[in-house]
Chains A and B, each alone.
Chain A
Amino acid sequence: MLHLSYSDYAALRAHGEENYPHECCGVLLGNSTPEGNQVREIVRAGNTRTDRAHDRYNIAPEELIRIQRQARKQGLDIVGFYHSHPDCPAQWSQTDFAEAHWVGCSYVITRVDQDKAAVTNSFLLTGTSEEDKKFLDEPVEIAMNEAEIEQERGRS
């Protein structure tokens, strides 16, 4: 189970809408707990794949090192990543799977139709090695306060 606040959930979806028709990407910081990955903060990252930004993403390792350094100071860890699929299902692709190497981390994917965020799903990368890794569908729990519940009601 991935635990996420409503504001972080809304922010990563908004990032996908802003970047449409290009893919957005970012890092989920938090703590890994026996109940699953608990996100405390999300950090936007640049997409280095300017050659194919509409259907590829890549986060520069330099940027990841900076994010990791900052996270450590706050007692947080990298627990996952997010990216968007412009006009494409919120399911992992073969490319996503081949390029996923952070076992134990959550990979969150948001489908963006035109410039509106549609479905958001999370996949947990499990396994013990490159050879037996696997994506599992991961339930997402979104923590909302009263005002946010009202806001979401107003939307639908």
Chain B
Amino acid sequence: MNINIPTPLRAYTGGQQTVSIPGATVGEALEALTGAYPELRQHLYSGEGKLRSFVNLYLNDDDIRYLPQKEATPVEESDELSIIPSIAGGCCRRLQILLGMPNL
């Protein structure tokens, strides 16, 4: 199957945007991916081997956290797995109001 690598992780896949990886399930494909590109592992998983909380894995258009079989979900050659780190943030207004700080 094809795995889409996000911009920040391409340094560990030789610059490749998409890598073709064998595997019968999502989990097997991920195992093969980190086997082929070992440096990826620490960016995807925490020290305890859990997927980092900000890393989203999507099988085609579905979040694998919400698939009934999760990482054991079978995959086909034509499926696409996307690794998408989260995009979020915010500003500090509440704190400013609390502290009565002037706007900078």
Q: Do A and B make up one complex?
A: yes
Q: Which residues of A contact B (CB under 8 A)?
A: 23, 25, 27, 32, 49, 52, 54-59, 61-62, 64-65, 68, 72, 77-79, 81, 83, 85-89, 91-96, 99-105, 107, 125, 129-130
- Residues of B within 8 Å of A87, CB to CB, are 93, 103
B54 to chain A: closest residue by CB: A101
Stretch at the interface among B21-29, B30-38, B70-78, B81-89: B81-89
Bound CA span A61–B82, Å: 10
- Residues of A within 8 Å of B104, CB to CB, are 89, 91
Question: Do B42 and A129 touch (CB < 8 A)?
Answer: yes
Interface of A is mostly: mixed
Question: Do A32 and B88 touch (CB < 8 A)?
Answer: no
Say if the beta carbon of B79 comes within 8 Å of chain A.
no
Total of A-B residue pairs, C-beta within 8 Å: 110
Q: Which residues of B contact A (CB under 8 A)?
A: 4, 6-8, 11, 17, 42-43, 52, 54-56, 58, 61, 63, 82, 84-94, 96, 103-104
> Would you list 30 pairs from A and B whose C-beta atoms are within 8 A, ordered by A residue?
A27-B87, A49-B90, A55-B90, A55-B92, A55-B94, A56-B88, A57-B90, A59-B87, A65-B61, A72-B17, A78-B6, A86-B93, A87-B93, A88-B103, A89-B103, A89-B104, A92-B89, A93-B91, A94-B92, A95-B90, A95-B92, A96-B90, A96-B91, A99-B86, A99-B88, A99-B89, A100-B89, A101-B8, A101-B86, A105-B8
* A61-B63, A87-B103 given; A102·B92 CB < 8 A: no
- Residues of B within 8 Å of A59, CB to CB, are 87-88
Question: Do B82 and A65 touch (CB < 8 A)?
Answer: yes
- Residues of A within 8 Å of B103, CB to CB, are 87-89
Question: Do B92 and A62 touch (CB < 8 A)?
Answer: no
Question: Do A99 and B6 touch (CB < 8 A)?
Answer: no
